[in-house]
């Protein structure tokens, strides 16, 4: 009896895992690009971090406004890229990625 119960439990668990698999499929849209700049009177590393974080936040807002609320997540996006540059006075970054949502 115990063996039958173990096999039944394993079968139910396998069925639940198979049913949940499509929930991780992603739907992606065209690339969204956003920019940000930081000229705060702090260290170069802090300016760079602020510019990068603000570029990603701007990307999130632009993706949400363009494709809808469920496409706003940077971590779910594909082909993520952040390029930064600038001199001593200011740093600027450009974030680009394809926004995606889970089905």
Domain-embedded: residue 36: yes
- The answer to whether position 11 is within a domain reads no
Residues 41, 11: Cα–Cα separation, whole Å = 62
Tokens of 6: 């173990």
- Residue 13 covered by a domain: no
User: Residue 100 is encoded by which pair of tokens?
Assistant: 């995606």
Q: Is residue 4 part of a domain?
A: no
Residues spanned by the domain of 84: 27-102
- Please write the tens of the pLDDT for every residue from 72-96: 999 999 999 999 999 888 999 999 9
- Asked whether residue 10 carries a pLDDT value surpassing 70, the answer given is no
**Residues 6+ positions from 93 with CB-CB distance below 8 Å:** 35, 36, 37, 48, 51, 52, 54, 55, 82, 83, 84, 85
Task: State the pTM of this model.
Answer: 0.75
| Number of domains into which the chain is organized | 1
């Amino acid at each position: 009896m115990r063996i039958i119960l173990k096999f039944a439990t394993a079968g139910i668990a396998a069925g639940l895992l198979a049913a949940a698999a499509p929930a991780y499929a992603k739907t992606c849209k065209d690339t969204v690009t956003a920019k940000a700049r930081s000229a705060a009177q702090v260290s170069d590393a802090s300016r760079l971090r602020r510019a990068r974080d603000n570029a990603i936040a701007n990307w999130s807002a632009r993706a949400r406004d363009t494709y809808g609320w469920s496409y706003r997540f940077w971590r779910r996006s594909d082909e993520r890229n952040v390029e930064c540059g600038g001199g001593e006075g200011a740093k600027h970054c450009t974030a680009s990625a394809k926004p995606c949502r889970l089905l």
